[in-house]
Amino acid sequence: MSIFTGSGTAIVTPMNSDGSVNYDSFGRMIEFQIAGKTDCIVVCGTTGEASTLTHEEHIETIRYCVEKVAGRIPVIAGTGSNCTNTAIYLSKAAEECGADGILLVTPYYNKATQNGLYAHFSAIAKSVGIPVVLYNIPGRTGCKLAPETIARLYNDVENIVAVKEASGDMSAAAKTAQLTNGGIDIYSGNDDQVLPILSLGGKGVISVLSNIAPKETHDMVASYLAGDLKKSLDLQLKYLPLINALFCEVNPIPVKKALNLMGMEAGPLRMPLTEMEEKNAARLEAEMKAAGLI
């Protein structure tokens, strides 16, 4: 039940100057991604500022993305919440919109136990018929999904098929692969750890970098999977300074700035996110020039 192999873009949600969703710009970004050989689009995730979208905006943004992509590549919709019932509501809506899968972040703030996480993800996954990607990002949520819990969910719930691993803990990722006998699809959630995850049998990356460098991110994964480890490593190391600049402030502040520098009209951020500090913006611009993106 693999949803995709390769590079999935955790796409931004562009905004108009009044803070509303800019669907015209969003459509152009989707076409830019597909032209750049992106293998999947992940809409309404962290990078898409889903936490500040209303439920109506969230669902409409998913619907627009699915319709614009029109089956050319898979679309995964972020539908996680710290409220299980809310996540079920959004997940059902995403399925009705035609999403190919859903991405479920660990509940933030509540800090559920491992048993709570098992109950939470099981309930959401069983409410839909499409594949589920678990999202382990304890640095944002304060809640870590243990490899044992991932394996339990994978073994017990048929449509839980993958995990976006953004803990930075390669030992935990290795244990997840071992406990699931390599069965669960593992995607790197960190652009600076694409190759380490691939070396553990990973399927690819759900990427912030690919918002601005879709072909290069796709090639990084495709080269590795084709056996050209040198080319893959060269790309990982070449873009490492830019990756670091994209995370010198909290995501998606820098990537929206980067897209605006490219003339992609990502627009402003929704509070409490604010514009980049001047020194960080200068660093980002310099790395983008060095990478030949502007």
Secondary structure (DSSP) of 47-90 = TTTGGGS-HHHHHHHHHHHHHHHTTSS-EEEE---SSHHHHHHH
- 135 catalytic, yes or no? yes
Half-sphere exposure of residue 154: CA atoms within 13 angstroms, side-chain side:
25
Sign of CA dihedral 80, 83, 86, 91: positive
If you ran DSSP here, which 8-state letter would residue 99 be given?
-
- 164 catalytic, yes or no? yes
Tokens of 163: 């995990």
Q: How far is CA 188 from the centre of its chain?
A: 9
If you ran DSSP here, which 8-state letter would residue 15 be given?
B
CA-CA distance, 39 to 148, in Å (whole number)? 29
Active-site residue, selected from the candidate residues 118, 135, 187, 239: 135
Active-site residue, selected from the candidate residues 68, 144, 164, 256: 164
CA-CA distance, 164 to 286, in Å (whole number)? 30
Active site residues: 135, 164
